[in-house]
Structures are given as structure tokens and as C-alpha cells.
Structure 1
Amino acid sequence: MRRKYAILGDVDWVLIGLYLILVSLGLSNIYAAVYDVEHPMIFSLSTEYGKQFMWIGISLFFGLSILLLDGSFIKKNAYWVYGFTMLLLLLVLFTSPINGARSWFGIGSVGIQPSEFAKIGISLALAKYIAEMGSQFKEFKSKFRIGLILGIPSILVLLQPDAGTFIIFVSFVLVLYREGLSGNIILFGIVAVIVAVITLIVADNTFFIPFTKIKVTGKFGIFLFITLLGLVSIFMVKNYVIPRNRKSLYRVIIGGFLISIVFVNFVEVGYTNILQSHQKERIDLLLGKIVDPDGKGYNINRSKAAIGSGGFMGNGFMQAKLANANQRHVPMQSTDFIFCTWSEERGFLGASLLIGLYIGLMMKIITVAERQRSRFTRIYAYCVLGIFFFHMLINIGMAIGLAPVIGIPLPFFSYGGSSMMSFTVLLFTLIKLDAERKNVLQ
């Protein structure tokens, strides 16, 4: 049963306050990044900051409308929202490509990106299914259905292609881990990433085996390393650690070695034949395989130069020397590289403050998640947390050269209507569900 409650009685105002601060700072930053002297008014719809102001207003309308809904209505329609967003992901594949990708619905001069809203659908569907299944990932059927919930949108965004959004979908694995998924799967994923990176770095190289004159390829060297690691593990377990279940250990190591051979070849073939040329260039730049500061690496190098120009205190609001509207020194400085504009104007202190605000937002979401009686709300909260965390990590990583350029917006900060609306709906849905936590009996 549910008790009557005031609409705004238990709303977490700290979350709303952090949201308003980030949105306001983001709008001022876009204003500084693309300021047009012929249209100085922030409300001018002929400018990006004018359009962003409009998107913020629309997003706030959606957010406040969500607060008027009943939490049970949101839960009841979780699968419908998921289905609708999957339909949008499917339909967008039949649109005309923009910059080589079919990711947008064009409505006049406005574009809507369905993959941004798919994050909402996935979060709700995942929360509903896990909350209802009860058996924490023990049954294959449950794992398979969760795989479908995550796999269908992942395939659809890869067909666009939109590698950036696909990487964001990986954040949902952290939610599964919180709800009982074996940590071995997370560990396997980390090892797979490490092996993939090593493969991309050394696969094309050749080197001599230490203390010998035997020359091998980098790929074969990886196999030798994994074999040596397996033998050391067997020796340690057999003689020092756990002398029982050795046969199982041998099977695991041999199986792991065979899987590694398949995986390494898959990475190499995928990199060579599946990735597009610009995607391979971005990976090569990140791994240091090519050096081209004025060509392929221009975006990242200009971004790092702008950030460095800010120094410790920054150059001041609208005083950026590189990341400003006149110089246009940094490409996409209001979207993908919005962080460099902020950092040049506010310096290291301002950059630290902004990162601190995001950390504060995410810490607050964790607090909200762990105080829930409803498993649905807790799972949904961690979905929101994972999405925000990956967006912040990758976007700032792009700006400072620690992540490939894959077109990931900074939440509430980068220019864009689809991202602003989706992030707002994600957060306000959580605020609404949390506001009803006292009225949920289980």
C-alpha cells in the first residue's frame, strides 16, 4: 500500500541544486565559447547559446512534469519506454547519413539523437527486470534476457555507427556487479581490455626473445607471455598456495590460453577490417603509434594547448586566448571539447571545481541509491550513476588526451538538445522515485 504524500515533500533539493549549478555554468561556458558579437543576447535562437537556453527550458519542463507523475506509473511503463527508444534506434538507421553516420532525426534546423534517449529506456528496463527476477544472476535464462536488454541497443548503435554511445552502454555492467554479478566477469573484462591494448601496440612489431637470437612477431609474443604466466600460476598454486583442485586449474589456464589466441586474432581482425579509418587513427594517436600534431592529432593537441594556456588561475571569463569564438583554435569547443574552454578561462582551480561538482553529484547519487527500500529505484540510481561517470570520464579524458575522440558530451555542460533532455530526464526520474521512498513498503 502507498500513503498520500506531498508532490515536493521529500524531493532531494541537493540533487536539484547541483543540477541547476552545472546547467548554469554550462550555459555561461557555451556563451563564452561561441560568442557572436552580432547576436550578444543569450536568448538569440540564431546562436548555440540561445538554442541551449531553449533546450534547458524544455528540459526543465520535462523534469518538473516527471515530478508530477506517480512512481508506480514510471515503473509500470518501463518496458514501453524501452521498446519505444529501441524503435527510434531502428528507424534512425533508415535516415540519410550525417557526417557518415545515421544517428539523427532532422526536424527543420533541429536534430534529435535517439541513442541519447535509449539510455533512459535501458536504465528503466534493466531496473525493472532485475528487480522482478529475484534470483541474482544464478539462472542462465536471467543472464540471457539481461544480455538481450543490453545487446539489442548496442548492436543498433554500432550499425549507425556510434562507437561512443556503445562504450557508454558498458557502464551498465557496473550496475550488474552491484546487484550480484560475479566479480570474475569484471576481472575478465579488465584483462580483456589490457590484452586488446597490448595487441594493438605490439602486434605489428617484431622482437627477439630475451637471451636468445630467436625473432618472433608481437602477436606470438603475447601468446608466449600468456603461456609463461599460466605456468607460473600453476607452479605457485601447486607448491605454495592451494594444492587442491589442480585439474580444474589446469583446465582454466589451458582454456584461457586458447581463448586468448582467439581473442587476440579477433582484436586484430576487428581493428583492421571493421573499424573505420578515422576510428583507427584516433586509437593510433592515443596509443602513440602515429605522431601528427597538425593533422590527425590536431583536435587533441589544440585542446591540450588551450587547457595549458589557462595556467593555475585561468585567463578570466571570455578572456580565453585559444578556445574562444574568434580564434576557433579548438574544433567542437562547445560540444566534445567544452572542458578546454572552461579550463582556459578558469584554470586549474576552475577545472578542479568542476570535477569536484561532478564527483559531488555522483556521491550524492550513491547516497540516494543506498537509502532505497525499492530495489527498482536502487538499480535505476546506479544506472544513472554509471552513465554520468562514463560521460565525465571519457569527455574530460578526450580533452586532456587520455581517451580517443569519440563524441561523448559532458553532462549538463556540452551543447546539445538531445543530451540535455536525456540527462535531465534521467536525473529527475531518479529524484521522483527517491521522493517516494518513504511510501514504498518493499
Structure 2
Amino acid sequence: MRQDDLYINKIDWISIAIYAVLVIIGWINIYAAVYDEQSIKSIFDFSINSGKQLVWIGTAVLLITVIMVADYRLFENLALILYGFFIILLIITPFIGKEVNGQILSVGFGNFRIQPAEFAKFATALALAKVMERPIFDLGQIKYQIQAIAVIMVPVILIMLQPDTGTAMVYFAFFIMLYREGMPQWYYVLGLSFVAITLLSLGIENNLYLAIAVGVIILILILLGKKKIPRILSLIGIGILIVGYSYSIDYVVSKLPEHQQNRIMVLFNPNLDPLGVGWNVTQSKIAIGSGGFFGKGYLEGTQTKFDFVPEQHTDFIFCTLGEEFGWLGSFVVIGLFCALLIRLVMLAERQKNRFSRIYGYCVISILLFHFMINIAMTVGLFPVVGIPLPFFSYGGSSLWSFTILLFIFIKLDSHRIQLLSRIG
């Protein structure tokens, strides 16, 4: 058997097939989101978003071809160079980028523009894999924890300066990978505690109830460390810090931009401003709910056709699916995403090369975070933060970045035998 035939047989065609199905379903839903009965245009019309998305899909296929024919060692060798390149792009974006809705997100020339923050995701994933692949790298030690966290936080800080809070949040998904690779659990217990305190502080107005809730969380933390007295003392100190933090939430939120404050408050009180800040989520939930079990039919969604939901072809694309294909269509798409994520976990776990495994879990972390937050956002379980649905939402930067992220891992997996021989 020729070497090329052996390589083709090792490609994970299951992941590629799921990717292709998601991209196609996303494309036809983008057309539904911009469909206008008064001026019916073909889905292939390049003057509307579906036609433009088809161009992005075509160029994504070219990117896939380049990735799959490239030397698999190239990605490891260029990992830090790519990371440095996109860090430089993030630094200069506020100075040369185009401003949209108060955010400076894209750079480029003329009509060709890209969002460096989107592409920096796969570069950060490669950099983390490169930094952490060393045999001596141990996340149980502080110095190595600092190194990994620093790789993540540099792009986070630069993206926050644009400012793009939603995209910056995505980079914290890499902590899922760090957990798999041995980051101490107390980081996650403490982090989840602060998240819980934040939500309780925003959602509970009665100070007595808030104090009881905070006390329960502190008690749980102390019980988790009951076997070690020093840990109890440290957790008491952390408890005091949490109490102070819980009563400072209002101050912290007051320092956010006004539109972000409103989005947070609408999450806890959807009726706060139903015709203003809460409009998107309210109309999105109406669209999804009106779809019923089987949906209203393709191109028959009234919420979609009459543009009740802003940004429906991008961040709120899932509500188009829910309205026109109903619960059944939504279930199928969610099932496809879950199948892809489960498949990627299987691929990551079979990697014997540490670089490939770490990168694989970075891919899983990013896709999982986007998938969960986007859908939670459209049904009102998370503030609107502008996070696209992978392979589904309209946009060249989004589709390209997710495609590159996924297919680099598929490429590495297809060469897992060669990668194993390099460390053998």
C-alpha cells in the first residue's frame, strides 16, 4: 500500500462529514434569515448574505486542502511564530482597525477584512500545545501554571482593549483543557464559587438571602478541606474574600459599558426593557417557541421573514432553525454538535503525542464553549455577548477560524502513527 493511501485511510471522515452537514444546514438557514418574499433572490445570489457565505464556504474548502496537504510537522514548528504574529495583529488592531458599534474588531484592505481575535484562537491553541508538550511541564507546579495562564491571558487582555468582552470570554474555555492536563482542582472550585456568588449577587436583591447563600458556599468550601487544618484556614480567608466580593458586584457592574450592564440585568429580569435591550432575546424565544415540534416549514417563519430578531443571520441563527424546523430540527443540530464533540474527545484520547492531545482538547474546549453559550444566549439563559454558533453563523472570519481550528487537529490525528514514532 502506498504512503498516500495509508494517510487517506487514517483521516477521520466521520468528523469531516459532521462538519460538512453543519456548514450546509447553517448556509440554508442563513438564506432563510435574509429571505424576502417581496424581492425573491436565489440562495446563490452573491448580493445577499447566503451568496457571500457560499464564497466563504468555498474558500474554507481551499483552506482545508492546504491544511491536509501540508506537512503535519509544520503546525508544531510554527506554533509560537503564529501566536506571536496574531498577538502583534491584536496590538495594532485598535490603531488601524475598522470600528463597528463602538468596537474595533477587523483589519484588512477594502472589502477584505478579518477579525484577528477569531484567528488568534487557533494560534493560542497551538502555542499552548507547544509550551505544554515538554516532558518536564507539570501543571501541579506554580511556575508551569503561570506559563500556561500567561499564554491565555495575553490575547484576552488585548481583545478586552478593543473592547470585545464576548470574544475575550471564549479564551477562558482553554481552562477545560488545562483541567484535563492536570491543573489543580481547587482553581475550578474557587472559580465556580466566584461565578455562583456573582450570579447570586445579581439575582438576589434581599441582603439576608444573599448572606445565607454566600454562607452556604463558604461552608461547602470548608467541608471540602476538612481533612487538612491549614486548608480550612486558607478557605476561611477565601470566604472572607468572597463575602467582600459579593458586596462589590454592583460596583464592578457599574463600571461596565451601559449596554453590557443592561444585558446582564435583562438576564435576571427579561421584562425590564422588552422593547429595548431585551428585544433580541424576547423575540428569539418567541421564534423558537412558535416553531413547535416540527416547525413552520422552510422559509415560512414569520419572526424570521419580518425581521423581528436583529442579527438573526449571525449570533441568533439558532432561532431561525427553531422556528422553521421546530424542536425536531433543533434536536438534530444539537445532536450533530454533540456527536462532533464526542468524536473529537475520542480522537484526543487516542493521541500518544502530547502536542496533538493538548491541541485536540483546545479544539474541543473552544467548540463546546461557543456551542453552549450561543444557544444559551438565544434562549435567554446567558447575556447577549456576540458569540457565533460554530460552522453555522454568517461570517468569513468565524467560518475560517473554526475550520482551521478543527482541520489542523484532523490533520494531526491522521499522522498519529508518525507522531508516535517521533517520540518512540
Q: How far apart, in 1, do the equivalents of 2:219 and 2:290 lie?
A: 51
1:290/1:276 CA distance change after superposition, 3 Å:
farther
Q: Matched residue of 2:28: which SS?
A: helix
1:28 CA displacement: 0.8
In the TM superposition, what are the counterparts of 1:14-413 in structure 2 within 5 Å? 14-36=14-36, 38=39, 40-94=41-95, 95-132=97-134, 134-202=136-204, 205-206=205-206, 218=207, 222=210, 226=214, 245-246=228-229, 248-273=230-255, 275-288=256-269, 291-324=272-305, 327-413=306-392
CA distance in 1, matches of 2:282, 2:157: 32
- Per-residue CA deviations over 1:113-149 (Å, capped at 9, x if unaligned) read 1111010111000111111253321332211211210
Secondary structure of residue in 2 paired with 1:102? strand
Distance 1:178 1:29 in 2: 35
Q: What is aligned with 1:209? A: none
* 1:164-204 CA-partner distances (Å, limit 9, x unpaired): 112111110010000011112111111110011112233xx
2-side partners of 1:390 and 1:223: how far apart? 31
Change (3 A) 1:221 1:47: same
SS at match of 1:9: helix
Amino acid at match of 1:187: V
Offset of 1:223 from its aligned partner? 5.3
Larger radius of gyration: 1
Unpaired runs of 5+ residues, structure 1, are 207-217
- The 8 Å contact of residues 145 and 183 in structure 2, kept in 1 or not, is answered as no
- Answer whether contact 1:133 1:142 (CA < 8 A) is retained: no
Structure 2 counterpart of 1:175, one-letter code:
M
Report how far residue 355 of structure 1 moved: 0.2
Question: Residues 176, 245 of structure 1: CA spacing in aligned structure 2 closer, same or farther, 3 A cutoff?
Answer: closer
For the residue of structure 2 that corresponds to 1:322, the secondary structure is helix
SS at match of 1:97: strand
Aligned equivalents of 1:318, 1:113: Cα separation in 2: 31
The equivalent position to 1:420 in structure 2, one of 389, 399, 405, is: 399
- Give, in whole Å, the separation in 1 of the partners of 2:234 and 2:335: 43
Q: Distance in 2 between matches of 1:102 and 1:426?
A: 23
CA distance in 1, matches of 2:150, 2:135: 15
Aligned residues: 417
Aligned letter for 1:11? I
TM-score, length of structure 1 as denominator length = 0.89
| Whole-angstrom distance in 2 between the partners of 1:182 and 1:139 | 9
Moved more, 280-289 or 148-157: 280-289
Q: Secondary structure at the match of 2:99?
A: coil
d(CA) in 2 for partners of 1:408 and 1:356? 20
Counterpart check, 1:13 vs 2:37 = no
Deviating beyond 4 angstroms after TM superposition, the runs of 4 or more aligned structure 1 residues are 3-7, 36-39, 220-234
CA distance in 2, matches of 1:278, 1:288: 15
Name the CA shift for 1:87/1:288 in 2 (closer, same or farther; >3 Å): same
Q: Structure 1's 334 and 254: CA in aligned 2 closer, same or farther, altered over 3 A?
A: same
Instruction: Please give the per-residue CA displacement for 1:223-260, whole angstroms capped at 9, x wherever unaligned.
Output: 565457657987x79xxx96x643x1441232112321
Partner AA of 1:55 in structure 2:
W
Q: RMSD value over aligned CA atoms?
A: 2.3
Matched AA of 2:57: I
TM-score normalised by length of structure 2: 0.92
CA contact (8 A) 1:337 1:399 kept: yes
Identity of aligned residues (%): 39
Structure 2 Cα separation of the partners of residues 42 and 381 of structure 1: 35
CA distance in 2, matches of 1:45, 1:372: 42
Contact 1:126-1:146 within 8 A present in 2 as well: yes
Do 2:367 and 2:390's aligned partners in 1 also have CA atoms closer than 8 Å? yes
Which whole-Å CA distance do the structure 1 matches of 2:101 and 2:110 have between them?
17
**Contact 2:140/2:184, CA 8 A, preserved across alignment:** no
CA distance in 1, matches of 2:107, 2:169: 22
CA distance in 1 between partners of 2:369 and 2:218 (Å): 33
Amino acid at match of 1:311: G
- 1:44, 1:50 within 8 Å by CA — same for their partners in 2? yes
Specify the SS of the correspondent of 2:113.
strand
SS state of the match for residue 132, structure 1?
A: coil
Taking a change above 3 Å as real, the CA distance of residues 231 and 310 of structure 1, as seen in their structure-2 partners, is: closer
| Structure 2 unpaired stretches of 5+ | none
Q: Could you tell me how far apart the structure 1 residues matched to 2:105 and 2:195 are?
A: 27
8 Å contact kept, 1:314–1:343: yes
User: CA offset at residue 308 of structure 1?
Assistant: 1.2
**Are 2:32 and 2:304, in contact at CA under 8 Å, matched by a contact in 1?**
no
